Amino acid sequence: MKKILLSLAALCCCMALGATNYTCHLEVTVNGNLAEQEEVPVVVVEENGYYTLTLKNFVLVQDGVSLPVGNIEVSGVTGQDQYGYTKISLVKPIQITAGDDPAVGGEDAWIGPLLGEVPIDLTARFTPTALDATIDIRLEAMGQTIGVKLFGVVPVVEGDVNGDNDVNISDVNKVVSIILSH
């Protein structure tokens, strides 16, 4: 029995090694209306070069009204290490699952599972201490996009002149444009 418990504890420790927990500021835009929340937990797990990003028990709070959405999870995403952070991006449909926060209620309280598969567009960049992410959830049946922005404090990318969080040819074009305009 002790061997089984010890093996289980070792397995849990190994699984936790690749996980990084972040606390982010959240901004959600729905039909032009902005809702903000502080202290939203996000977990990124890296395993064998693939990343999983999870926003667990997501509850949209707008004008004092809570709307339990559920767990937003994208997995199997490859990352690119660049300029001191890791960047992941993905466009695909996902199923939002029911959350498990007992304060919200049972599985029926969460609207995410009722939506079926929803197309998302995810872009995230993170360091061991901070995460910034944008998740656009397209609700095609309703004709709207829900914009979710998660803010940590990822360092500014050196050489990113145009502010798109990448150093590329568009930064060179911006510098040339600035020089030519003077």
Task: Judge whether 12 lies within some domain.
Answer: no
DSSP class per residue in 93-154: EEEPBP---TTT-SGGG-SGGGG-EEEEEEEEEE-SS-EEEEEEEEETTTTEEEEEEEE--P
Task: Judge whether 1 lies within some domain.
Answer: no
Task: Judge whether 151 lies within some domain.
Answer: yes
Task: Judge whether 2 lies within some domain.
Answer: no
Task: Judge whether 99 lies within some domain.
Answer: yes
Over residues 120-174, the pLDDT tens digits come to 999 999 988 889 999 999 987 778 888 999 988 655 555 665 556 667 787 677 7
Host domain of residue 35: 20-180
Q: What is the pLDDT of residue 163?
A: 59
Task: Judge whether 169 lies within some domain.
Answer: yes
pTM value is 0.72
Task: Judge whether 10 lies within some domain.
Answer: no
What's the CATH code of the domain at 118?
2.40.128.350
What's the rounded Cα separation, in Å, for the pair 111 and 114?
A: 5
Over residues 75-120, the pLDDT tens digits come to 999 999 887 889 999 999 999 999 999 998 888 899 999 999 999 9
Give the number of domains in the chain.
1
